[in-house]
Amino acid sequence: MDAFDLPDVAWTPVSPRLVTARRLALLLPALVPLVALVVLGVVLGGWWWWAGAAAWAAWGAWLWGLQARQVRAVGYAEREDDLLLRKGIVFRTLVVVPYGRMQYVDVSAGPLDRWLGIATVQLHTASAGSDASIPGLVPEEAARLRDRLARRGESRLAGL
Amino acid sequence: MTSPQAGAEAEPGQEQEPGREPEQVQEQAGAGPAGEAPWRRLHPVTPVLRSWRVLVVLLVLYGQQRGTDAVTGGGADVPGHLELLIALGVLAGAVVVSVAVSALAWRMTRYQVDAEAVRLHTGVLFRQQRSARLDRLQAVDVVQPLLARLLGFAELRLEVAGGSGSDVRLAYLREADAQRLRNALLARSAGLSFEGEDAPEAVDRTVLEVPLPRLLGSLALSGGTIALAVFLVALAVAAVLADAQVLLLGAGPAVLGVAAGLWTSFTRSASWRVAVAGDGLRLRHGLLETRTQTVPPGRVQAVRLSQPLLWRRAGWWKLQVNVAGYGGASPSTGGDSSLLVPVATRSEAEEVLALVLPALLDPLRDPLPDPLPDPAQPDAGAAFRRDVERGLDGVGEDGGWLTAPRRARRLDPVAWRRHGVLVTEHALLVRRGRLGRQLDVVPHERTQSLGLVQGPLQRRLGLATLAAHSTPGPVSPTAAHLDAQVAASLLQEQAARARRARAAAGPERWMESPRTPPTEAGPAPHAEPGEG
């Protein structure tokens, strides 16, 4: 059994639109060197340029495919008193954030995110270590989560 | 004094105006509605004390420039009259400008203290109005840089848990005023009410004083010194072998750097004194710049005891704490406030640990209502002390420690048997390090959040690293390479335990707690009709 699949926890996945967002964000920085390598290959000749371009393209393709798996690995679960959040495939993390420890909640969305209709909800505690951001939420869900977290945090408020 | 709560949060009317009539706010003259606490100014000597630094910086810069010139032969060895005149002129001009700017800033700075909060208004061009709630006060420091100390002035720093730069600094006040204000703030923060302006000072009891020889010894055995010694020996050998004495010149910057670091540590840690008072833990230290830190009970989030390899023979330990608000402080902005004791013997370390986290030892101050303190169990502290003993230098699973399984030796062949966690009734203990040892103690009700991390190698071996997240500071308890399943269930249990402990934890105004027994030093607790 996988230790990161806690018993009695129903994980909520995030929107698959996050895959598109991450792939698009990947595209530009990946394409510029690729084009440069191809142009150099055409202009200067020599197989190594093409080899470099191929390697770069392969790397990009792998990352492209990885995004889908990574997004599938993101999940959160609202429990009675805390929020669970898990992430990652190769380096996996699982965070438990008690509602009573929440200091504030951020909802953010970049231009690409807005275009695709997703947002990120981030919980902040008094600790810098608790990195609890949930990417790829549809705006309604993000707003609902934000309000719900804020309400729960209020009702379970403890100082520090 | 008690001011009406309704008026406490409202800003006084005249503060909205970019008023240039400072006399109006002088003392009570400009006080707002009746009963409002007066707005006060810092002491008029402030601009002079602040400008002192400018003078020093300029002198040092000039000295450096002269020194470089002398070495490179760029200038005369002895400064000429003209140069001296120009230098003096520049210096005087800079000081005058600096004093003038500071004086302007001083005119625009005022503060107000009432039962709820401290408010500080600053800024000439960019105005800032800061209000710090007293029930959120994390620590109060009285800092006296050398010159201020000689003249009898002090800076008061109020730490609130807002990250770096969130503290309220009142510089400078008369030393006696600073002390009085500190006492009043701590008493109000504790939820005590008292007559008039002055709170009675809580009598403190010295627990520990670090002797000078031990401090010097600990510095001599610190990593920096050893590294320097090794470097120097290597350099000397190289110089002899290569027959190039020039190489030795290269040691200069390194020696200077390490010496400066040691000197800073020494002046900061000299005459270190730990005391307990009714209003919290007091730390007093410093050779040139003295600092008195007061950390109220329950504000310590986590404690780390650590021992570098070379201190093992002497049995010394260093204690550091996480206090919200201290976390952002870097050495450049006023030193590492998170240091609890620079060097302590083992028994002292245990004693201080018990003082900092009294709930761990004293069944009377038990923050957990159930199970109720067992009268049949005579000394709750003994069990905890035993756990700490094992945490300090124990190896393996003796005493109920949960350690990394045997297969973890492939990831950490040296320390795998030492990595471990122990969950006691009140706290999470995490130990690590075979050569340099560390023990972190986090009370359950202070856990912020919990995390589990697994890298690819750990995954192959079925291991995971458990981390308890605390407020920013030197203590970051992580237990590496535990069995993944065990770590996951520990994560769940610990989350539940932290929740229970939090629900039972005392109030922010610690003196209002009905369970807290009155300390011999503090005044009798008197509950204020406060918020819930």
- The pLDDT score that the predictor gives to residue B135 is 81
Evaluate whether B484 touches A135 at the Cβ level (below 8 Å): no
Containing A157, the helix (H) or strand (E) segment is none
A128 contacts B454? CB cut-off 8 A? no
pLDDT at residue B530 above 50? no
Strands, sheet with A75-78, edge to edge from the N-terminal-most edge strand: A12-13, A75-78, A82-87, A92-98, B449-454, B463-469, B478-483
Burial of B334 (0-12, 13-18, 19+ CB in 10 A): middle
Q: Which residues of B touch A (CB under 8 A)?
A: 136, 138, 161, 299, 301, 324, 327, 445-456, 459, 462, 464, 467, 469-472, 476, 484-485, 487-488, 491-492, 495, 498-499, 502, 505, 508
Containing B349, the helix (H) or strand (E) segment is helix B346-356
pLDDT, tens digit, for every residue of A6-26?
Answer: 888 889 999 999 999 999 988
> Which one-letter amino acid corresponds to residue B505?
A
CA distance B68 to chain A (A): 43
Q: Cβ contacts (< 8 Å) between B502 and chain A: which residues?
A: 98, 100, 158
- The pLDDT score that the predictor gives to residue B251 is 75
pLDDT over 70 percentage in chain B: 78
Q: How far apart are the first and last CA of chain B?
A: 21
Q: Token pair 């700075």 is at which residue?
A: B109
Least confident of B45-59, B75-89, B222-236, B446-460: B75-89
Which residue in B119, B310, B282 sits closest to B202, CA to CA?
B282
Evaluate whether B497 touches B483 at the Cβ level (below 8 Å): no
Task: Return the bridge partners of A134, or none.
Answer: A121
pLDDT, tens digit, for every residue of B277-315?
Answer: 878 889 999 998 899 999 887 888 999 999 999 999 999
CA distance A111 to chain B (A): 29
Q: Which residue has the higher pLDDT, B326 or A55?
A: A55
DSSP labels, A11-76: PEEPPTHHHHHHHHHHHHHHHHHHHHHHHHHHHH--HHHHHHHHHHHHHHHHHHHHHHHHHHH-EE
Q: Quick one: pLDDT band at residue A76, thresholds 50, 70, 90? A: very high
Evaluate whether A98 touches B449 at the Cβ level (below 8 Å): yes
How far apart, in whole angstroms, are the C-alpha atoms of residue B274 and residue B344?
A: 11
Evaluate whether A49 touches A56 at the Cβ level (below 8 Å): no
CA A137 to each of CA A24, A75, A105, A134, A149: distance values in angstroms, whole numbers, following the listed order? 17, 11, 14, 7, 14
- The pLDDT score that the predictor gives to residue B328 is 53
Q: Which residues contact B503 (CB under 8 A, 6 or more apart)?
A: none
Tell me what the mean pLDDT of segment B8-28 comes to. 38
**Tokens, residue A160:** 């520090």
CA distance B380 to chain A (A): 26
Q: Which of A2, A66, A86, A94 is the best substitution to test chain B (most B C-beta atoms within 10 A)?
A: A94
- The pLDDT score that the predictor gives to residue B507 is 61
Q: Quick one: pLDDT band at residue A157, thresholds 50, 70, 90? A: low
How far apart, in whole angstroms, are the C-alpha atoms of residue B450 and residue B444?
A: 11
Tell me what the mean pLDDT of segment A51-78 comes to. 92
* Report for B108-112, B185-189, B505-509: range of highest mean pLDDT: B108-112
Q: Quick one: pLDDT band at residue A103, thresholds 50, 70, 90? A: confident
Burial of A1 (0-12, 13-18, 19+ CB in 10 A): exposed
pTM of the model: 0.80
How far apart, in whole angstroms, are the C-alpha atoms of residue B95 and residue B101?
A: 10
SS3 B303: strand
- Which residue does chain A place closest to B500, by CA atoms? A81
Task: Return the bridge partners of B468, or none.
Answer: B450
Q: Which residues contact A103 (CB under 8 A, 6 or more apart)?
A: A124, A125, A126
pLDDT over 90 percentage in chain B: 30
CA distance A78 to chain B (A): 14
**Tokens, residue B437:** 């040892």
